[in-house]
Structure 1
Amino acid sequence: MNFFKKHNRMIAIITVILLCSTALLLLNIDLNASKPAVTNKKIENPEKPVTPTQSDQTKKSESQKVVYLTFDDGPSKLTENYLDLLKEHNIKATFFMIGKNMQDPAYQQNMKRAIDEGHYIGAHSMTHDNTKLYKKKQFLSEMDETISFIQDITGKSPKLVRPPYGSAPGLNNKGVRDQIAQKGLKVWDWTIDSYDWRLKGKPKQIIENVKQHTSKKVEVVLLHETPQTLEVLPEIIKFYKDEGYEFGVYNESEHFVCNFQKDNRL
């Protein structure tokens, strides 16, 4: 009898253990089913998608040195020579042209060529006359007329203008600047004055002026369509290449403020 009692007791114990194990196994399966699946895929924030490419571009733009070569007072008999030289060096530039010069049909073809080759033409007034532009307050009307000439000849209607003799003191009048801003026009002066216009017969001094005043990551160089400037332009280009600058051309969608009035609207 004792044998059978012990045998039955062992069977009962084993049965209880098996039931408990089965219950625990079923409970574990249920808990795992309620957990979300874990994957190795990174969950990205859709509100701030920052890619390595964008980051690299930002770093590049912050460290990049850019020079904008700008040429005033065209079109002229030298415009073609300037375009030839710039094409030879694969450089795009920004030209500020005078309306009265555009009326000469002999110059109009080179205006079209400048646009076709990727240069930018901005307005530099009709007359370049200090009295008419500022004392008689004809600045805006002259710029409008010049822009119309550019559009008629090239098909482009620029938004950028350069005030003859600079925006200071020319545009000290805030009322005039208000009108310029309301029309959506932008104003560029310069960061470096080469003084090339008064250095006839002294072309080497033009280069020295440029070198001495180059110090910023972004420079806007004031040049003119003169024989002495054309003579030393290859040396100016070489200087900036040696200094690690890239050559920029004005882009309306990437406008930055460059006016002596420090008016952020222009």
Structure 2
Amino acid sequence: MTTLTLTFDNGPVPGATDAILDRLRDRGLLATFFVIGERLLDPAGRRLAERARAEGHWIGNHTLTHTKPFGEYEEPGHAAVEIGGAEALIGDLASPERFFRPVGRGQLGPHLLTPEARDHLIDHRYTLVTWNNVPRDWVEPQRDWLERAIDGMAASERNLIVLHDHCIVEMLDTLDAFLDRMAADGVEIVQAMPEECLPIRRGRVVLPIDGFVGDAAAPGA
């Protein structure tokens, strides 16, 4: 059976994340929300993350500021600030393990991590979450994400899709249409992550990761 894991990035966004939570609640579906740490400094954002956690969704780390991929930074210590700073704000909302998703602009490659970022994830026992279905819901015309997502389902029997709170809220009807199509096609929506999208698991490298790590020298090297 084909499965689909739903993930939503770049929240929590008042007026957006809450509407998505309503839709998921009404359908009895569970997802993972990869949050930007600094958004939790807003009490309204914090309450949304707490609501998501209370309703059974998982909360993951999507960096502190979501500025650019780690591979585009040269400053030593940057990865630790972005990952650790967000995790400190997430605190006990993290579940069921320390999920981390790097900034990637929808593409996999060596821009995702530096050796420093990789080592931080390993040393602090994170689980690195990638993806295999990115329908680019931020690209105009945005509603075309629906067909791209459906086409992307052919990539694997275990799909992990990346959507964005602030984009999807403007077209919740397309989210409904996508979920209806998944049900009609017999796709099971699960919360568990496909193993192929977890190259680091609780600090242990379990899949080849060199393709996600740039060749920048580690601090002190």
User: TM range, normalised to the smaller chain?
Assistant: 0.7 to 0.9
2 CA distance for matches of 1:131 and 1:85?
A: 31
Higher gyration radius (CA): 1
2 CA distance for matches of 1:73 and 1:257?
A: 23
Is the Cα–Cα contact under 8 Å of residues 159 and 185 in structure 1 kept in the other structure? Answer: yes
Per the alignment, do residues 145 and 172 of structure 1 end up closer, same or farther by CA in structure 2, a change over 3 Å counting?
closer
Q: Which residue is 2:2 aligned to? A: 65
Matches within 5 A, 1:57-206: 64-77=1-14, 78-130=16-68, 134-135=72-73, 136-137=75-76, 138-151=78-91, 154=93, 158-165=97-104, 168-199=109-140, 202-203=142-143, 205-206=144-145
Name whichever of 108-117 and 241-250 sits farther off.
241-250
Structure 1 gap segments, 5+ residues each: 1-63
Is the Cα–Cα contact under 8 Å of residues 193 and 210 in structure 1 kept in the other structure? Answer: yes
Output the TM-score relative to the length of structure 2.
0.78
Output the TM-score relative to the length of structure 1.
0.66
AA at the equivalent of 2:189? F
2 CA distance for matches of 1:206 and 1:159?
A: 29
SS in 2 for 1:86: helix
1 CA distance for matches of 2:96 and 2:79?
A: 17
AA at the equivalent of 1:149? L
Identity of aligned residues (%): 25
Per the alignment, do residues 157 and 211 of structure 1 end up closer, same or farther by CA in structure 2, a change over 3 Å counting?
closer
**Higher RCO (CA-CA < 8 Å; seq separation 6+):** 2
Name whichever of 105-114 and 158-167 sits farther off.
158-167
SS in 2 for 1:214: helix
State the Cα distance separating 1:259 from its structure 2 match. Answer: 5.7
SS in 1 for 2:195: coil
State the Cα distance separating 1:132 from its structure 2 match. Answer: 6.7
AA at the equivalent of 2:149? V
More helix as a share of residues:
1
1:242 aligns with 2:211: no
Matches within 5 A, 1:199-214: 199=140, 202-203=142-143, 205-214=144-153
Structure 2 gap segments, 5+ residues each: 210-221
